[in-house]
């Protein structure tokens, strides 16, 4: 009988049953790896190969993106940009229609709001071209007097939209603004009174702000054209700078220069004439930024301002209130790199993207 123990200071430890030890000597005899039978050496090498490969992958992920990079590897492997044609079957019909130049939707239908809790309404607004459905806006309308907003960051990248809801007790969660390759905010942020993100930053688009002098609980969008974002966010309990402005104070969007072929699931914040905050996420990726900026003023939402958030697979919105459930995350991001049309794809598509940046609404 032979027994093996996979630990020891220098190789496997071999013990033969019934073997007698000399006084003062251990019955355990160390077999150095180079003395193992060749078959054993091959088996050990084969067993260790996946471990070495995984360790190398995690080391590279950590070097490039810290714990955010490691959690990306654990959640979905990685994401890559792959070449596609404008009529590629992997693209949705709405994307293919937009790429073909049909970027002006039909006039919007009336928005049918449904109250699911005091101060929280939801709706889904279809988007059609020539009567054909190509996308939809998933909408939530929040009364700041009834809900407390928080801007949150978790740079480790280990919490998705459902994880944020469970951790905060929120009734609504939407992805926030942009984040750096290792997870912290890429734009100025105030989270529970603490400033995060870059201290030196030029902001010319917009911000979402909660609190401040004379309005400790109010939530609002601010057009930063001609304003200093530091002064706008001074004294705020929560704030988040983002871009581009889809609808500014002058009634126009500021999406000039954006490529019409950059198509993605998108999230945005709006403020209506009654001061309510409207959260929107597109179900598909029909809209470029200029096309979305042109559509929102015609969408029947009574918007005064609208600000774009991050998009693509991180464009997520989850609602749970009064028995109503919505749980959505985007799928598409398409862009042009080096003159080539490319689609972002996950190598292992079995888990949702984490949200390093999140905006949550919690009942007061």
Which of 54, 77, 100 is a domain's end point?
Answer: 77
- For residues 95-103, give the mean pLDDT: 97
pLDDT 10s digits, 190-243: 999 999 999 999 999 999 999 988 788 899 999 999 999 999 999 999 999 999
Q: Beta strand 189-191 with 238-242: parallel, antiparallel or unpaired?
A: antiparallel
- Bigger pLDDT: 35 or 178? 178
Question: 97 and 135, same structural domain?
Answer: yes
Give the whole-number percent of the chain exceeding pLDDT 90. Answer: 73
* Shared domain check, 93 and 235: yes
Cα-Cα-Cα-Cα dihedral of 208, 248, 344, 64, to 10°?
A: -50
User: Quick one: 1 and 129 in the same domain?
Assistant: no
Per-residue confidence at 21, pLDDT binned at 50, 70, 90? Answer: very low
Going by the DSSP 8-state scheme, the letter that residue 20 receives in this structure is P
Counting the structural domains of the chain, the total is 3
Residues 66 and 139 in one domain: no
Residue 174: strand pairing partners: 317, 359
Do residues 142 and 2 both lie within one domain?
A: no
Taking the complete model, does pTM exceed 0.85, yes or no?
Answer: no
Do 118 and 55 lie in one domain? The reply is no
Are 306 and 165 found together in one domain? yes
| Residues 257 and 225: beta-carbon distance below 8 Å | no
Calpha distance 238→209 (Å, rounded): 6
Residue identified by tokens 């960051």 is: 153
The answer on 99 and 46 residing in a single domain is: no
CA–CA separation, 316 vs 311, rounded Å?
8
Are 328 and 255 contained in the same domain? yes
Phi, psi of 107 (to 5 degrees): -55, 140
Q: Are 51 and 186 in a shared domain? A: no
Full residue range of the structural domain in which residue 53 is found: 38-77
Supply the pLDDT for residue 57: 57
Q: Are residues 92 and 212 in the same domain?
A: yes
Above 90 in pLDDT, residue 55? no
Confidence class for position 351, pLDDT limits 50, 70, 90: confident
Please check whether residues 51 and 160 belong to one and the same domain: no
Order of strands, edge to edge, in the sheet holding 245-247?
Answer: 114-117, 120-129, 132-142, 277-282, 266-272, 303-311, 245-247
Tokens for 204, please give them: 């010319």
């Amino acid at each position: 009988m032979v027994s093996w123990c996979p630990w020891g200071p220098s190789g496997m430890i071999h013990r033969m049953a019934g073997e007698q030890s000399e006084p003062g000597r251990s019955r355990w005899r160390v077999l150095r790896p180079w003395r193992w039978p060749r078959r054993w050496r091959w088996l050990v090498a084969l067993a260790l190969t996946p471990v070495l490969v995984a360790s190398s992958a995690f080391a590279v992920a950590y070097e490039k993106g810290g714990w955010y990079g490691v959690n990306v590897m654990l959640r979905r492997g990685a994401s890559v940009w792959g070449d596609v044609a404008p009529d590629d079957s992997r693209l949705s019909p709405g994307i293919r229609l937009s790429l073909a130049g049909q970027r002006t939707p039909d006039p919007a239908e009336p928005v049918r709001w449904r109250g699911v809790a005091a101060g929280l309404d939801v709706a889904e607004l279809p988007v059609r071209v020539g009567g054909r459905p190509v996308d939809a806006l998933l909408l939530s309308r929040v009364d700041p007097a009834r809900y407390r907003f928080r801007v949150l960051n978790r740079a480790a990248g280990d919490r998705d939209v459902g994880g944020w809801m469970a951790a905060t007790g929120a009734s609504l969660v939407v992805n926030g603004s942009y984040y750096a390759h290792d997870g912290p905010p890429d734009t100025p942020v105030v989270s529970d009174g603490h400033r995060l993100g870059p201290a030196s930053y030029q902001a010319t688009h917009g911000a979402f702000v909660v609190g401040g002098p004379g309005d400790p609980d109010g939530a609002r969008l601010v057009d930063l054209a001609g304003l200093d974002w530091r002064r706008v966010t001074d004294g705020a309990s929560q704030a988040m700078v983002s871009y581009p402005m889809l609808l500014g104070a002058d009634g126009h969007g500021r999406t000039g220069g954006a490529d019409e072929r950059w198509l993605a699931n998108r999230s945005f914040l709006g403020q209506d004439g009654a001061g309510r905050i409207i959260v929107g996420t597109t179900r598909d990726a029909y809209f470029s930024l200029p096309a979305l900026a042109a559509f929102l003023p015609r969408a029947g939402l009574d918007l005064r301002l609208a600000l774009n958030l991050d998009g693509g697979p991180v464009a997520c919105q989850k609602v749970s209130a009064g028995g109503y459930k919505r749980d959505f995350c985007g799928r598409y991001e398409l862009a042009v790199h080096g003159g080539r049309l490319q689609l972002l794809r996950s190598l292992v598509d079995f888990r949702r993207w984490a949200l390093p940046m999140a905006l949550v609404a919690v009942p007061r």
